Structure 1
Amino acid sequence: MRNATSSSRFSSTVLAAALAFCLGGISAALPQSTPDAENGRFTLSPTADGVLRLDTRTGVVSTCNNSGAGWACYAMPDERKALDAEIGRLQADNEKLKAQLAAREPTVAGKVDEALPKSDSLKKSEPKLAEGEHKIEIPLPSDRDMERMMSFLEKAWRRLIELANRVQKDVSGRI
């Protein structure tokens, strides 16, 4: 009978161990309350002077630095909030201006039905010629006039080159 009780104790011990093992596995599968850093709330990225921390629940970004006295994290300004606030302000101003414009008396009594002429009112029309008249022709310069102009330009160019050479010699002589 002693064997029967010791084997039943052994069986109950094994059963208890198996039950504890099963229950331990189930409890490990259940969600546990772990610290925020372990369940993925914060995402950390190293930077040159510390760490950039993103709170995945709120979206707040912070810069964390070790300043000798310990680590300190400072929230970065949220530009999106500022942009949204500015967009809201501009939309409100726009609505207010539209209301003011609608409240004004119309300056033009009605719509103009006729289209404006497409001609330029400042452009003077060309004078019409009578049947016997000829158009005024401007004569082209003669070959002699062209030669005189070319010789003038050549002389001016040579003088400019000579002046540049003299300035260059003066500057190089002083150095």
Structure 2
Amino acid sequence: MIIATSPQKCFAVVVVCLGGFGAATAQTVAEMENGRYALSPVADGVIRLDTRTGAVSTCNNSGAGWACYAVPDERAALDAEIGRLQSDNEKLKAQLAAREPTVTGKIDEPLPKTDSLKPATPKAEAERKIEIPLPSDRDMDRVMSFLEQAWRRLIEMAQRVQKDFSGKI
């Protein structure tokens, strides 16, 4: 057991007990007073945020002492990808502008409305008209007599069904 009698000895004991953490803390104490770093404890060490630059580091005590490692910045990777895509876009626009135009001017005539799957019909067939003859009076009389007979049979059948049901009830 170590017993220290003076404040200087107490500080020396604390530094020895904490190992290299004392050196890391001594550097950041002055900077923490200015509010540059914000420290948050985690399971295996501390996370250090540089409030001026926004850089994040994880600090942990390995066997050799405390060490801080920068956390990969996803924003920097995103900015790099955005820059690459913007330059690719500019290159493609320049290539497109360098090409010859495929269509020159406005087309005044409307495109023909034809079905590309149907074979083209000769004009002689297109000009032919199909005539459907109307039924004669004799044909109309035959249709009307057929409908009248069908209607009569339907009515007679309904009457028979009605008599059968009324007799059984």
Q: TM-score, normalised by structure 1?
A: 0.46
Using CA pairs below 8 Å that are at least 6 residues apart, which structure has the higher relative contact order?
Answer: 2
